[in-house]
Structure 1
Amino acid sequence: MVYHNTDVRPNSPRCAMYKFVTSLVIALLISGYAAADVDVATTVRPLQFIIEAIVGNSGTVTAVIDQNDSPHQYSISPSDRTSLAQADLLVWIGPGFEVFLADVFSRRAERGEVLNVSTIVGLQLITSGNNQLDPHLWLDSRNAVLIAEAFTDRASNLDPLNAPSYRENFARFASEIAALRNSIDAMFSAPVNSNYLVYHDAYQYFESQFGIRHGLALLDNPEIQPSMRQVLALRSSIQELQPDCLLMEADSSRSLLSTLLEGRVVQMETIDLLGNRLSGSIAKVDRYAQLLSDVAESIASCVYQTGPN
């Protein structure tokens, strides 16, 4: 016959063991919930890069519009809807840009689970002639820092245990971007002629921050092709401007450019506005800085022909 020790009196060793094990399990459960990684879903990759710099190793950050998609032709998929539904926080430019996601984000915004970066106080915002917001606001490094700061506050509330890490990461990010801004200022210290073309007016934030300005934007909206009358007017403007170079994107229409340039030889620089060509070897916390640095170098190569001396 086997006898079991059933001594569970308050001061017995067995009772003490029960208390220890119970306390340990409760502590592990509490810490597990408190330290749960934050799950963030952004719309475009530049926002993903900014948020990644703050999250670090304390969560996951995804972009529903990946490097194989264009914000101008994107259509939300069932898997994207699932990713958005599972995220703790959604981050977007705003309904004026990501129109295709407005229904999803508006529902989550009612529950306070959305960060609309275009409404952040102090952001440098640029509007077009028809009073539409230029959505490429991440191309101003000051905006990137404000977005990172606003997210740091939201993440700290969502995940208090990792708040010190988020704030430390933000301080690092702000310092890194300040140094990058000084470097880009030096890159464009020489005078820049305004006789370069842009495929569409997507560079205003960068140009405004660093004191340069293009001579002519070929398209107001890359999704709308110009009429024949507009083509003739653009040809006349190009002839008058005598441009040296053109800033374009990977999805710019080569056939339209050929039609507008009429055989004119200009240096063409393809700008990676969304960071789609960034190397996978770049650390996640450094990807926004690399994106802005690459944009600066590409623009400098265009406006200085071979880059500044």
Structure 2
Amino acid sequence: MRRFLVPLALLLASAPAVAQPKVVASVIPVHGIVSAVMGDKGQPELLLAGSMPEHRASFSPQQIKELGEADLVFIIGQGLEAKLSQMSGTEAVNGRRFVELAAAPGVTTLPVRQGGTWETHDHAHEEEHGHEEGEGHDEGVLAFDPHVWLDPANAKAMALAVAQELAKADPGNAALYLRNAEDFARSVDETAEAIEAELEGVKTTPYVVFHDAYQYFERRFGLAAAGSISDVSAAAPSAQRLREIRRKITEVKAACVFREPQYDNKVVATVVEGTAAREGVLDPIGADVAPGPLAYQQILRNLAASLRQCLAG
């Protein structure tokens, strides 16, 4: 019997390793979630650096090549990564699996805010997503606010969806992916608890943001945002909207107006001039956050720290 041991060992040693799925993640929050779920079984490629405005980013030929070589491409969807959403299903990425995490089971969505110094579109919006996976949306029309990751509960649901998709692509590690998603959920709960404590004392202080990206975070932590300079798509504000937001800053005695590192800060400087409001910085994407398995939690902590620092004066 022993004479078979060496050949068997050699056979096992020479057996080809099962290739890990090639994965691409669109933006740093998604990359952080996917990285945490993949763990030591690989790292996703990051498509958009945090310094790039997610709503307006375009893609190089090399990035399109990476998409074409990926087994799975995780995006938020719902128009957040506008060019990428248009690209899914095209010949450049034919046969690749695009996963829209905004449509994942368990993700709660909120309608785009309308009226006043929030959103001014007059089309209908859905509070809960009901579209089928892969269903398209008319360009410029959002069924709901796509910044879903800023609610920690949504991030946990997204992580579970990532684990399930990875399990389909790599069944041998399915249990590991699910365990990693559970570990991620526990970490996110701990982060949310710490943020609750940090924001205590400033929750009723009014403020204005650059674009309407934060309502998931605001609702989760009970904050008093009063308006946004730009709408949910970060489109250039009109002169009328700038006048409205200046009035709002004065009316509600907004303590802070927050700019974003991905966009020109001249507009914020303009609306703050002559008011008592301070300038702050909020970053929903993570321009200064290192990509990796802890990036998502760091983005939330940075938001809380920036809010606390400016609102507390």
**Correspondence list, 1:49-128, <5 A:** 49-107=32-90, 111=95, 113-128=97-112
Specify whether residues 232 and 170 from structure 1 end up closer, same or farther in structure 2 by C-alpha distance, changes over 3 A only: closer
Displacement of 1:137 in angstroms is: 1.1
Displacement of 1:65 in angstroms is: 0.9
User: In the alignment, which residue of structure 2 is the partner of 1:41?
Assistant: 24
Name which of structure 1's ranges 212-221 and 75-84 shifts more when overlaid on structure 2.
212-221
User: In the alignment, which residue of structure 2 is the partner of 1:299?
Assistant: 307
**Correspondence list, 1:223-238, <5 A:** 223-238=234-249
Give the Cα separation in 2 of the matches to 1:27 and 1:143. Answer: 43
Name which of structure 1's ranges 68-77 and 184-193 shifts more when overlaid on structure 2.
184-193
Give the Cα separation in 2 of the matches to 1:72 and 1:124. Answer: 21
Give the Cα separation in 2 of the matches to 1:160 and 1:48. Answer: 21
User: In the alignment, which residue of structure 2 is the partner of 1:4?
Assistant: none
User: In the alignment, which residue of structure 1 is the partner of 2:194?
Assistant: 183
How far does the alpha carbon of each residue in 1:214-256 deviate from its partner, in whole angstroms, 9 at most, with x for none?
1122221564333333333332222222221122211343322
Which of 256, 276, 288 is matched with 1:277 structurally?
A: 288
Report which of the two structures shows the higher radius of gyration computed on alpha carbons: 1
Any conservation in 2 of the 1:120–1:150 contact (CA below 8 Å)? yes
Displacement of 1:207 in angstroms is: 0.6
Matched, 1:166 2:177: yes
Name which of structure 1's ranges 140-149 and 233-242 shifts more when overlaid on structure 2.
233-242
Any conservation in 1 of the 2:68–2:94 contact (CA below 8 Å)? no
Specify whether residues 246 and 116 from structure 1 end up closer, same or farther in structure 2 by C-alpha distance, changes over 3 A only: same
Specify whether residues 31 and 164 from structure 1 end up closer, same or farther in structure 2 by C-alpha distance, changes over 3 A only: farther
Give the Cα separation in 2 of the matches to 1:69 and 1:58. Answer: 28
Matched, 1:199 2:220: no
Name which of structure 1's ranges 148-157 and 246-255 shifts more when overlaid on structure 2.
246-255
Displacement of 1:154 in angstroms is: 1.4
Regions of 4+ moved over 6 Å: none
The gaps in structure 1 that reach 5 residues or longer are 1-10
User: In the alignment, which residue of structure 1 is the partner of 2:130?
Assistant: none
User: In the alignment, which residue of structure 2 is the partner of 1:32?
Assistant: 17
The alignment covers a number of residue pairs equal to 285
Any conservation in 1 of the 2:209–2:225 contact (CA below 8 Å)? yes
User: In the alignment, which residue of structure 1 is the partner of 2:227?
Assistant: 216
User: In the alignment, which residue of structure 2 is the partner of 1:7?
Assistant: none
SS at match of 1:60: coil
Give the Cα separation in 1 of the matches to 2:181 and 2:238. Answer: 47
Give the Cα separation in 2 of the matches to 1:197 and 1:223. Answer: 14
Displacement of 1:98 in angstroms is: 2.1
Name which of structure 1's ranges 176-185 and 100-109 shifts more when overlaid on structure 2.
100-109
Residue identity matched to 1:114: F
State the percentage of identical aligned residues. Answer: 26
Instruction: Tell me which protein shows more helix as a share of its residues.
Output: 1
User: In the alignment, which residue of structure 2 is the partner of 1:246?
Assistant: 257
Specify whether residues 180 and 231 from structure 1 end up closer, same or farther in structure 2 by C-alpha distance, changes over 3 A only: closer
SS at match of 1:57: helix
Specify whether residues 273 and 174 from structure 1 end up closer, same or farther in structure 2 by C-alpha distance, changes over 3 A only: same
Give the Cα separation in 2 of the matches to 1:166 and 1:222. Answer: 33
Displacement of 1:76 in angstroms is: 1.2
User: In the alignment, which residue of structure 2 is the partner of 1:6?
Assistant: none
Specify whether residues 73 and 206 from structure 1 end up closer, same or farther in structure 2 by C-alpha distance, changes over 3 A only: same
Residue identity matched to 1:266: A
Give the Cα separation in 1 of the matches to 2:29 and 2:198. Answer: 22
After TM superposition, the score normalised by the length of structure 2 is 0.81
The gaps in structure 2 that reach 5 residues or longer are 115-120, 126-141
Any conservation in 1 of the 2:262–2:287 contact (CA below 8 Å)? no
Residue identity matched to 1:173: F
Displacement of 1:70 in angstroms is: 1.8
Displacement of 1:202 in angstroms is: 1.0
Specify whether residues 72 and 242 from structure 1 end up closer, same or farther in structure 2 by C-alpha distance, changes over 3 A only: same
